Chain A
Amino acid sequence: MAKIDELKTAVESGRAKIAGQLAQEAIDEGSKPADVLSAMVDAMGVVGEKFSAGEIFVPEMLVAAKAMKKGMEVINPLLKGADAQSLGKCIIGTVKGDLHDIGKNLVSTMIGAAGFDMIDLGVDVPIEKFKETIEANPDVKVVALSALLTTTMQSMADTAAALIPLREKYGFKMMVGGAPITQAFADEIGADGYSVDAGAAAVLAKELVS
């Protein structure tokens, strides 16, 4: 098996301890850095699909992302020009009033692994913080809002409403998610997309910018 294929398998199975070495060996074997990156992104796509299908659980997804990170540490310095271009910036945060970070962190991990540059604002993020960050990053492609509580759904709606004028100005897409959130609610507040879990969120983010 070619080293690039071994790397893909290692990422899928979350073997972080060997992923970096395999990435280097794939390069040494003649694989282009862009192809190595593509192999790892594909691997994470498989991981996301398995998670959404209930075949694997959160720990398996997290260790796969960790393995990819190790591979990225090797190939990042080698990526140049077009090869180095990411899918763009994604600003993510849990809305004001909500202190929960697990769902947001998982989504951030998976969207990052799909090729976006993540700007993670954390939890309990005021509307002004989202607006300031967007203004400071006018090339942002995706803004992702998270809420875990029914009591903070209104905060999400308020945040979305406040960001819609900026969306019209800068052209980014807005996606939402969290335990109480539904597609109907996402439509109601004017989001461009909703995903049920972290695996689906990565797929959605890519679709939104394609």
Chain B
Amino acid sequence: MPKLTPKENYLRLSRGEMPEYIPTFTMMTPTADGEMVVKIFNPNIFGENHNGPQGGKDIWGVNYVANEETGYAALPEPNNFILGDIDDWEKVIKAPAMPDVDWEAFAKKDIENSKIDRNRTGVMLSAGYSPFQQLMAFMGFNEGLCALYESPDTVKDLTHFMLDFYMPIIEASIDAYKPDIFYLSDDTASKYNPFFSPEIYRDLFKPVYAAMAKPALERGIPIQFHNCGHCEAFVPDMIDFGVTYWDPAQPMNDILALKKQFKGKLVVCGCWDWMPPDTWPEVSEEYVRQGVRDVIDKYAPDGGYAFCGAALGRASETIIGQVNKWVKDEVYNYGRDFYNK
């Protein structure tokens, strides 16, 4: 019987220690035993929710849409971008009025409403600002990516304007929530390549991430970074500005090489991608379970690893739900005694 709670087990990784069993970082849903290593908090002080199935505008005026095929995850409405020319950002991008927030009361209520037991489930506080994704949301990928290359100084002006807006929120929320992990997120890569060069990453985005990470690091709080896709070229810089946990660490990256290079400093969460079989939507339970075991066998033996991943699909597809039940169950049962064999 494990002695460590899911939270304690997961936090061991941040100190470079071996976990007692395979931790599972689930972004939102509980594991097979109904527990979560952490609960993610996004302090919604502006009272908006554009990320739901209904879509809507974010606080900067970007319109989001969702449909069944994305599992009702919202994305900026195509061809309806609010910023056509980066040089116009000061005319277009206006900071919303900052609400008067009693942060202590807000955090207390938010955590109470989540009904988590903080001894068993950690508090993961989200930074709330993803500079690359936000720029793409403003401009679309074509114009946004051109701006990175053609007008880097103007992009910096915009990202730092927004950083100045978010930093007081970040500092106040860290003090109020007292998180166990601080969470940064920015998807900067596609399946095959980063969207831009490491030089652009270091020049335009790394300073923003570093500034957001700093208040947490100064308080001894570890950093987790969400970055999908083939982004291994950025991982050394992530380590440099204080990241410990990286999710979802997808297998198109050379994860074993990164684990070796940053042993004791980097925790890879994931390493598993849902690959529907050729027979899809017919899928065998054993196919799913074996895939999970293969990933754990490959990436977990020397620690520095947490499982993370779920099959994504249409909300109406019941087989997706079944696949995810098998995944969670296999991670739980196979991972429970993995380090005691």
Does more than half of chain B's interface fall in helix, strand or loop, or is it mixed?
loop
Interface membership of B145, Cβ < 8 A: yes
> CB distance B313 to A99 under 8 Å?
no
Query: Closest CB-CB distance, B100 to chain A, in whole Å?
Result: 37
CA gap between A184 and B277 in the complex, in Å: 12
- Interface size in chain A (residues, C-beta < 8 A): 33
Residue B146 is within 8 A (CB to CB) of chain A in the complex: yes
Instruction: Chain B residues near A16: list those with CB within 8 A.
Output: 150
Instruction: For the complex, give the distance between the alpha carbons of A59 and B203 in Å.
Output: 15
Given known contacts A62-B142, A150-B276, A57 and B193 CB-to-CB distance under 8 angstroms: yes
A109 at the B interface (CB under 8 A): yes
Q: Which residues of A contact B287 (CB under 8 A)?
A: none
Interface residues in A40-92 (C-beta closer than 8 Å to B): 54, 56-60, 62-63, 66
Interface residues of A in 4-19 (CB under 8 A from B): 14, 16
A123 to B196, CA, bound (A): 24
A196 contacts the other chain (CB 8 A): yes
Contact with A along B52-83 (1 / 0, CB 8 A): 00000000000001011111000100110000
- Complex formed: what's the CA distance from A42 to B196 in Å? 23
B334 at the binding interface (Cβ < 8 Å) = no
Q: Is A102 an interface residue (CB 8 A)?
A: yes
Choose from A62, A98, A99, A179 the contact partner of B190 (Cβ within 8 Å).
A179
A54–B150 CB distance below 8 A? no
Q: Tell me if B78 and A101 are in contact (CB < 8 A).
A: yes
* Pick from A56, A99, A152: contact of B78, CB under 8 Å: A99
Q: Is the CB of B141 within 8 A of A63?
A: no
A63 to B312, CA, bound (A): 34
- Whether the pair A102, B141 counts as a contact (CB closer than 8 A) is yes
Contact A54 B193 (CB under 8 A): yes
Would B196 and A99 count as touching, CB distance under 8 A?
A: no
In the assembled complex, how far is the CB of residue B275 from the closest CB belonging to chain A, in whole angstroms? 9
Contact between chains at B69 and A57 (CB < 8 Å): no
Q: Contacts A14-B149, A57-B195, A58-B145 given: A97-B69 contact, CB under 8 Å?
A: yes
0/1 interface trace, chain B 128-150, chain A, CB 8 Å (1 if under): 00000000000011100110111
CB neighbours (8 Å) of A124 from chain B are: 67
CB of B75 within 8 A of CB of A58, answer no
Whether B200 sits at the interface, judged by CB under 8 Å, is: yes
- Which residue of chain A is the closest to B143 with respect to CB atoms? A62
A105 at the interface (CB under 8 A from B): yes
B261 at the interface (CB under 8 A from A): no
Q: A117 near B: Cβ within 8 Å?
A: no
Contact B68 A97 (CB under 8 A): yes
Q: Beyond A63-B146, A149-B69, A150-B276, is A122–B79 a contact (Cβ under 8 Å)?
A: yes
Q: Which chain B residues border A192 with CB–CB below 8 Å?
A: none
- Listed in ascending order, the chain B residues whose CB lies under 8 Å from chain A are 65, 67-71, 75, 78-79, 140-142, 145-146, 148-150, 190-197, 200, 274, 276, 278, 312-314, 317
Interface on A for B, CB 8 Å cutoff? Answer: 14, 16, 54, 56-60, 62-63, 66, 97-103, 105-106, 109, 122-124, 149-152, 155, 179, 184, 196-197
12 pairs, A vs B, C-beta closer than 8 Å: A14-B149, A16-B150, A57-B197, A58-B193, A62-B145, A63-B146, A97-B68, A122-B78, A150-B274, A150-B312, A151-B71, A151-B314
Other than A14-B150, A98-B69, A122-B78, give 10 A-B pairs with Cβ distance below 8 A: A56-B197, A57-B194, A57-B195, A58-B141, A59-B145, A62-B142, A66-B146, A99-B67, A101-B79, A102-B142
